């Protein structure tokens, strides 16, 4: 991963090189804290050890013997986004679907669109009690039974050491993968949680973990020596100066889901104690025709993170005699995309708007391993600098309790508050 | 469209009912301004006349005779998002793809994935010179020729009264639709630009336009009488009090693209003069496991717009003996989604975080017509209240010039600035 923070300096938010130099001592302290957490396999920090602790052979074993047309991953949040990021980015012939929502119309359409007799189901929930995931799994299981498919022959479980799903796996002798201890869902892309789908889709897990390990090796006591820390420290410093939004804009369709994965990582890890930068998802070049007007001319309260591979396959643009367009003929879509990337970057800088360039060599296993690990380490560093509890998400419990109460799953005072909603309806 | 602003009041940002009452006089003035603009078909305001001025028969005529398996819409920004919003929401058997980016890997994969002999291409550009769109069109045309498909038999042009695409349509006698005058791209969903794809996908254009007309009829001189203005005025009032982000969170997968359409509408219309609220795209229930932690416990600088249909088809959740999950059995995915919607809404309110509920009856033509028109009118109202030039996007020109210069399309000083980029690379 390459991180270029040149355009983060001396923009409207006034971050100077000297400010980063001054911050670098705190980066060194945070790095020590992170290293200690990793050495002790503390909750959360353990995620940064996955390049060493993740056992790809266990994943390969769970996937062995399956050769499906479709993979249905039933999970939500961190139990889906890491895997989806990898399989979306790497492509391939396996049709990977993610049942990460409980919209009934959509669930029904997905089930209608796959051949269940050639589908592997991977149900992913550490606790085994995630309402959305278990509901969807029950629906999928019933659909398989209705289609005459033996679900016990086609289901792989990824869960914690105990609980509903573990018991089910034991009872039916299903292939089962362990969700690693100490790894929050949003940091689990490089574990069993994210890698089973990648393996089934034909990805090279060794290269993924090697990419992650290479990025781990670059963690160091200075932001100028580690791309991940350069990103984490710069975003933190900009947020402190008023960058309330971090717009992540990959210039590759294959990385669109990466922006969604990043948005979870960033929001859920850092959004607490009235702090936290809001991640906004964008996509280049498309969103030049959508968000760029705001980024350049709206409030000076944003950082734009431009992400791209340095190399990709290309497509030539045919010669044309269309008026005023001859300059495009003989060029290529890749050259056009590159020109738009650099033009957008410069146009933001010219307007005083901070931006950071993040590049990987290619959108391949090694590059993705670097990118995902790097962004996780950046998040952890930011959390240390901001002094927040990076690895928890206490604010979501209220709504979970309320929903459970509404569904008759127990007596929760939060559910009572729902019916007291203040209404002012205009129709 | 139903808009409930009850939870926008008396949250952390301190918007009181009296504030809205005080604002309502300005809403009345803005409504008069908008009505005058519509009466005179002024640039931009003319978009709000589309329910009357759009001629669905012209669109039906252009689509007549085609019965393809695939539709490739070649356009970017407002030339793609409106159509994509409609066809994504309405579903159906036609495989609708949107070539709205110039990522070569992705373009090649789309072309490899469709049967070009059963594909209709709709190339959409008012000027006929949009670099991304014309480049992609040249690539598609060549791919058709290479596949032995006569592109002149399968191409429909949507463009302005003159220019490259108009000349090409005339030369080859292609079906051609007029981009209406005075309608900026991001306001063109309910015109030829958005409706051709919908027609080909089997949508009822009359119902779409009737829904829009119904919402137009509800525009009135008070925010309490018009759902669109209730939304526009409330978002404006919250933005004035510090809601820098508007997180739009539909609880329907079919409306995921709507959030993207809205993001363009909102950002490009209102993001200027250092003003403008940043739209963030989210999706319920999925993003409860991603963004909700930030929305509830991060900075009090957000509005969450919760969007959903009041009715949808449902899927039962089978009974289960899984431990602790019996409360789900016998319920349905729709009930779960409803409980999560209301729980999330209440959980935001309980944390003092402002939110607005936007509902449509169903995700169907009439509901979408209401929703898209309503959000356009809300945007125009917000623009009037903020005093910005809602219908322009001057800040994107810099980058367009730079990209064109980089590609050898002329001498642009912006292109020179690109090579002067400040670098501070960490690798």
List per-block mean pLDDT (blocks of 10 residues) for chain A, which spans 427 residues: 98 98 98 98 98 98 97 98 98 97 98 98 96 97 98 98 95 97 98 98 98 98 98 98 98 98 98 97 96 98 98 96 88 98 98 98 98 98 98 97 95 94 96
Strands in A238-369 per DSSP E: 245-250, 278-281, 302-309, 355-360
- A216: Cα within 13 Å, side-chain hemisphere: 22
- A198: Cα within 13 Å, side-chain hemisphere: 30
A253·B342 Cβ contact <8 A: no
Strands B2-4 and B355-360: antiparallel
Classify residue A127 by its DSSP letter: S
Distance to chain A for B382, nearest Cα, Å: 15
B105·A350 Cβ contact <8 A: no
Q: What percent of chain B has pLDDT over 70?
A: 100
8 A C-beta contact, residue B174 and residue B128:
no
Distance CA B384, CA A363 (A): 44
B184: its two tokens:
């900026």
B102: its two tokens:
């110039």
Give the N- to C-terminal CA distance of chain B in Å, as an integer.
51
Out of B289, B420, B421, B425, pick the active-site residue: B289
Sequence spans of domains, chain B: 2-36+209-386, 55-179
Backbone φ, ψ for residue A88 (5° rounding) = -65, -45
Please state at what angle helix B256-270 crosses helix B81-90, rounded to 10 degrees: 160
pLDDT single digits (tens) A367-391: 999 999 999 999 999 999 999 999 9
Q: Got the DSSP string for A70-93?
A: EEEEE--GGGTHHHHHHHHHH--S
Closest CA to A282 of A297, A301, A303: A303
8 A C-beta contact, residue B274 and residue B305:
no
A328·B131 Cβ contact <8 A: yes
pLDDT of residue A324: 83
Please state at what angle helix B131-146 crosses helix B397-406, rounded to 10 degrees: 50
Distance to chain A for B205, nearest Cα, Å: 23
Closest CA to B7 of B305, B227, B268, B248: B305
Distance CA B369, CA B1 (A): 9
Tokens 């903020």 -> residue: B386
Tokens 């069993």 -> residue: A192
8 A C-beta contact, residue A73 and residue B286:
no
Looking at CATH, the fold of the domain delimited by B2-36+209-386 is given as Rossmann fold (3.40.50)
B293·A267 Cβ contact <8 A: yes
| Topology match between the domains B2-36+209-386 and B55-179 | yes
Distance CA B52, CA B19 (A): 35
B396·A293 Cβ contact <8 A: yes
Inter-chain Cβ pairs, chain A and chain B, closer than 8 A = 488
pLDDT single digits (tens) A249-279: 999 999 999 999 999 999 999 999 999 999 9
Residues of B with CB below 8 A from A128's CB?
A: 322
* Nearest by CB: A315 against B108, B329, B422: B108
Q: What is the CB neighbour count within 10 angstroms for residue A162?
A: 11
* Nearest by CB: A402 against B254, B267, B343: B343
Whether B289 is catalytic is yes
Tokens 């100077």 -> residue: A16
Looking at CATH, the fold of the domain delimited by A55-179 is given as Rossmann fold (3.40.50)
Q: Is B158 helix (H, G, I), strand (E, B) or coil?
A: strand
Chain CA centroid to CA B409, Å: 31
Residues of A with CB below 8 A from B342's CB?
A: 402-403, 406, 418, 421
Whether B43 is catalytic is no
Residues of B with CB below 8 A from A302's CB?
A: 278
Distance CA B114, CA B95 (A): 9
pLDDT single digits (tens) A10-59: 999 999 999 999 999 999 999 999 999 999 999 999 999 999 999 999 99
Burial class (CB in 10 A: 0-12, 13-18, 19+), B58: middle
B160: its two tokens:
């302005």
Q: Which of A79, A193, A261, A298 to mutate to test the interface with B (most CBs of B within 10 A)?
A: A298
Distance CA B81, CA B199 (A): 15
Distance CA A166, CA B399 (A): 54
Closest CA to A212 of A53, A358, A58, A92: A53
- List the catalytic residues of A: 268, 289, 400
Closest CA to B185 of B255, B129, B265, B100: B265
pLDDT of residue B323: 84
ipTM above 0.95? yes
Chain CA centroid to CA A69, Å: 25
CA dihedral sign of residues B388, B390, B395, B401? negative
pLDDT of residue A9: 98
Distance to chain B for A131, nearest Cα, Å: 8
B180 Rama class: left (phi>0) / alpha (psi -120 to 50) / beta: beta
* Nearest by CB: A253 against B7, B106, B407: B106
Residue B99's contacts (CB-CB under 8 Å, 6 or more residues apart) are: B72, B73, B74, B75, B80, B107, B110, B136, B140
Cα nearest neighbour of A351 on chain B: B395
Closest CA to A15 of A402, A427, A349: A349
B23: its two tokens:
């604002």
Distance CA B367, CA B89 (A): 10
B117: its two tokens:
């002999």
* Nearest by CB: A426 against B81, B226, B276: B226
Distance to chain A for B179, nearest Cα, Å: 17
Distance CA B231, CA B382 (A): 9
A251·B103 Cβ contact <8 A: yes
Task: Give the number of residues written for chain B.
Answer: 427
Residues of A with CB below 8 A from B285's CB?
A: 76, 101-102, 132
B343·A414 Cβ contact <8 A: yes
pLDDT of residue A144: 98
The segments of chain B whose pLDDT lies below 50 read none
pLDDT of residue A323: 84
A389: its two tokens:
């509890």
Please state at what angle helix A17-39 crosses helix A227-240, rounded to 10 degrees: 120
pLDDT of residue B74: 98
Distance CA B55, CA B52 (A): 8
* Nearest by CB: B135 against A105, A299, A328: A328
8 A C-beta contact, residue B261 and residue B85:
yes
Distance CA A391, CA A397 (A): 15
Out of B132, B268, B359, B370, pick the active-site residue: B268
A318·B81 Cβ contact <8 A: no
């Amino acid at each position: 991963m390459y991180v270029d923070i040149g355009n983060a300096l001396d923009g409207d938010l006034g971050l100077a090189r000297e400010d980063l130099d001054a911050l670098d001592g705190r980066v060194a302290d945070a790095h020590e804290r992170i290293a200690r957490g990793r050495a002790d396999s503390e909750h959360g920090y353990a995620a940064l050890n996955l390049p060493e602790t993740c056992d790809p052979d266990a994943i390969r074993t769970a996937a062995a013997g399956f050769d499906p047309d479709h993979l249905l991953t039933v999970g939500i949040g961190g139990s889906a986004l890491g895997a989806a990021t990898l399989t979306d980015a790497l492509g391939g012939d396996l049709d990977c679907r993610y049942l990460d929502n409980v919209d009934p119309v959509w669930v029904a359409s997905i089930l209608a669109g796959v051949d269940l007799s050639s589908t592997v189901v991977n149900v992913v929930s550490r606790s085994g009690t995630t309402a959305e995931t278990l509901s969807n799994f029950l629906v999928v299981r019933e659909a398989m039974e209705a289609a005459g498919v033996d679900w016990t022959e086609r289901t792989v479980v990824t869960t914690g050491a105990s609980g509903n799903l573990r018991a089910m796996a034991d009872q039916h002798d299903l292939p089962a993968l362990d969700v690693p201890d100490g790894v929050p869902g949003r940091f689990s892309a490089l574990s069993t949680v994210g890698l089973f789908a990648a393996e089934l889709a034909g990805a090279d897990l060794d290269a993924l973990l090697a990419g992650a390990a290479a990025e781990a090796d670059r963690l160091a006591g200075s932001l100028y020596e580690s791309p991940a820390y350069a990103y984490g420290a710069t975003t933190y410093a900009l947020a402190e100066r008023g960058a309330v939004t971090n717009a992540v804009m990959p210039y590759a369709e294959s990385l669109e889901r990466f922006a969604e994965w990043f948005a979870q990582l960033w929001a859920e890890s850092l959004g607490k104690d009235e702090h936290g930068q809001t991640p906004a998802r964008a996509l280049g070049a498309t969103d030049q025709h959508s968000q760029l007007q705001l980024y350049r001319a709206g409030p000076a309260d944003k950082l734009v993170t431009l992400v791209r591979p340095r190399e990709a396959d290309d497509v030539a643009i045919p010669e044309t005699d269309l008026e005023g367009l001859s300059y495009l003929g003989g060029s290529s879509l890749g050259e056009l995309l590159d020109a738009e990337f650099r033009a957008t970057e410069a146009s933001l800088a010219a307007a005083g708007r901070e931006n950071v360039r993040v590049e990987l060599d290619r959108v391949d296993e090694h590059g993705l391993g670097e990118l995902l690990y790097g962004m996780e380490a950046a998040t952890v560093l930011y959390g240390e600098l901001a002094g927040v509890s990076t690895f928890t998400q206490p604010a979501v419990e209220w709504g979970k309790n309320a929903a459970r109460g509404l569904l008759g799953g127990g007596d929760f005072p939060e559910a009572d508050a729902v019916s007291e909603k203040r209404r002012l309806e205009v129709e």
